[in-house]
A and B are shown apart, each in its own frame.
Chain A
Amino acid sequence: MKNDILVSLKGVTKKYGNVTAADNVNLTISRGEFLVLLGPSGSGKTTILSMMGGFTVPTSGQIIIDGEDVTETPPALRPTVTVFQDYALFPHMSVLENVSFGLAMQKVPKAARYKRAEECIDTVGLTGYGDRGIHQLSGGQRQRVALARAIAVEPAVLLLDEPLGALDLKIRRQMQAELVHLQKSLGATFVHVTHDQEEAMSIADNIALINNGKVEDYGPPDRIYLRPATLFAANFMGDSNLIEGTVLNNDNNQVEVDTSFGKLTISGEAKQGSNIHILLRPEQIRIGVASNKKGVSLGEAKVREVVFQGTHKLCHAYSGKQFKSKIMFRVSPDHSVVAGDILSLHALEPDAVLLRD
C-alpha cells in the first residue's frame, strides 16, 4: 500500500465560548487507512470528526484533504461523507432512493444511478431490499443502508460517527468485521469514532486516543494497548494494574522504583525522586516465583475473588506489604484457584511499562 497522506489536521482547535472541544490537534491519515478516534464521551472526538466532515469550522488550524485546504469548505464540496449515529436516513424514501440520493444530486441519469445504487446495496448485503421503506428495516439494516448511501458517491474519506452505538452486542461485533472487510475491499479511507476500546482495537489500523480535546496517544492498537504513552491511555485501553512508585535510582536506561511490592527494577527513563506508575496487564502477571533475571517478583498475593470468564479466570487479589495493594491477574480456566489461596506472583520485565505521571 502506498503510504501517501490523504488527510492532515494541523493545529486544529475548536472553542465553544470557554470550552475547548479540540485543542491543537495534529493528525495525519494515509490513503486506505482505517483510523479510529477513540475517547470517552465529551472528549472532543465527535467535534474532530465534524470538522473533517465540514459541519464544524475550526476556530484555528488547518484541515487538508487530498492536497486541498478544506478548512472552511462546506460538506457538499469536500470529498468526505459522514455516516451519522442515528443514520439520518430519509424516512419518506425507499432504500434504493436513499442510496441513489447523492448521485441524483450529482445529476446522474436515473438508470445509471439506480444501477450504481443496486451495486452498493449488494455490497452491504441487502440484495433485494431496494424497494423497502426505511421504517420496515431493523437497526442493523438501517445501518447498512446508511453505509450504502455513503459509499455510493465514492467519497475519498468515509466518516463514521459512532455508527454501531445503537446496535446490540452481537450485531455490533458482526458489523465491526463487515466494516473492516468493506473498507479493505473498497480500498477506502475510513475515520470511525467510538468510545468502545474493544471495538477500536478490533477494527483500527491506527487509533488516535482523544482526551480533553487532545490526542493523548496515537498508533497501532497493539502498541497502544501494550505500551501506552500515558496513564490515561493505559487506563482507558482495558483492565490494568497500575503500580504507584517513586524512582530511587536512574541508571543506564534502568530505573529502580520503590513500590508497595518492594523495589522493582524495570527499563525506562524517569527522574530520580519522581512519582511514576508501572503498568502490567492482568494477563502479563504470572503465577510462581521469578526464575531468572528477566523476572520481576511481585511477592505473595491473597486471592479475594475469582471470576470465571470462559477463556480464563480473572482473579482479584491483595498483594504487597500487609496485602494492602490490589492486583488483578488471569489464570487458565481449569486452574483450581479459589478465594483465600495465597500465590506467588511475578511478571516479565519487558512487559512492564513505565508511565511518568
Chain B
Amino acid sequence: MRTWVRNTPAAIYLLVVLAFIYLPVVVLVLFSFQDGPLPVPPFNGPSLHWYEKMFGNERLIASLINSVVVAILSAVVTTFLGFLAAYGMARRTPRFAGGIRFSLMAPLTVSYLIIGIGLLITLNIVGISKSLFAVGIGHVVINLPLCFAIIYSQFGDHTRNIDDAARDLGASDFQTLLHVIAHVMKPSLFASFCLSATLSWDEFIIAFLLSRFDVTLPVIIFEMLRSGLTPEVNAAGTLVFAISVTTVIAAAITVSALTSGRKK
C-alpha cells in the first residue's frame, strides 16, 4: 500500500513524459485513418481510404523506392568508411590522433542546413548535378561521424590482441580485416549500418537541397504538405515512421543476438 502511494507520482510523471514524446506520433497515425478530407478532430473512421490513395500515388511510390535505395547504399558506404577509419585509429596511434579523431567527429555539431548548402556549392564546382547520387553523398557526409564513433567505441584491447594474433599467424592487412576483424566487429558494423540507413531514410534538408527530378520520400511529403493538409500526408508519415521503427527493432534484436551468442 505504502509503496503504491510512493510510486504514484513517479508513474504519473512517466505517463506525462511518454505522452509528451509519443502523443504527436499517435495523433499523426490516428488521423491517417480519418474518414474525411481533413486530419483534424473529430475522428471519423477508421478508414483505409487515404492509404489506398497513397499507394495509388505513383510519384510517392517512386520516391519511396528512391529513399530505400539511397538509405541502403549510403549506409553501406558510410559503414565501410567508418569501419576503416575506426580500425586505423584504433590499430595504430598516429601522430595527432586526438586531432584526427576530433576532426572526424566535429561535423556532428554542424547543422545539416550548413552542410547541405556547402555540398550544393561544392558538388556544383566538381560537376556533380543535383541527383539521388548527390543526396547519397550528402548522407554519407552527415552520417560518417556517428558511424565512426559507434565503431571506434567498440575497439578495445581485446580486439587489438585478436588483430595482433592474426598478423602474428601470418595474415596480411587485408586478410586480417576480412577474415577476422570484420567478423569480430559485426555487431557494431550492423548497428552502424542500421542507424545510418534510418537517419538517411528520415532525412529531409539535404535530400531537398541536393535532389531535382528524382526525390526521396520526405521531400514528397513536404511537397504534399505545401499543397494542403490531407490525411494522405498522415498516411505517408505513418509509413515512414513504421519502416523506421521496424528497422530499429530488427536491428536491436539482431545486435543482441550477435553479441549474446558470443558472451555465452
Contacts and interface: CB of A to CB of B under 8 A. Distances in A.
Interface residues of A, number: 25
Interface stretch (B26-34, B159-167, B192-200, B218-226): B159-167
Interface string B157-192: 110011011111111100100001001101000000
B164 A55 contact: yes
Contact of B164 (A88, A102, A136): A88
Given A88-B158, A105-B175, A135 B168 contact: no
Nearest to B258: A92
B261 interface: yes
Given A91-B184, A91-B262, A135-B263, A86 B170 contact: no
A85 B162 CA distance: 11
A89 B158 CA distance: 10
A135 B258 CA distance: 12
Given A90-B180, A90-B183, A91-B184, A84 B165 contact: yes
Nearest to B260: A135
Interface of B is mostly: helix
A162 to B, nearest CB: 12
B92 interface: no
Interface in A91-118: 91-92, 101-102, 105-106
B171 A105 contact: yes
Contacts of B167: 74-76
A90 B263 CA distance: 13
- The interface size bin for chain B is 20 to 34
Contacts of A319: none
A75 B183 CA distance: 22
A103 B162 CA distance: 17
17 contacts: A53-B168, A55-B164, A55-B168, A75-B168, A76-B169, A76-B172, A81-B168, A82-B168, A88-B158, A90-B162, A90-B166, A101-B169, A105-B171, A106-B170, A135-B264, A136-B264, A149-B165
Given A54-B168, A88-B164, 17 more contacts: A74-B167, A75-B164, A76-B168, A76-B171, A80-B168, A82-B164, A88-B158, A88-B162, A88-B165, A91-B262, A92-B184, A101-B166, A105-B171, A105-B175, A106-B170, A135-B261, A136-B264
Interface of B: 157-158, 161-162, 164-172, 175, 180, 183-184, 186, 261-264
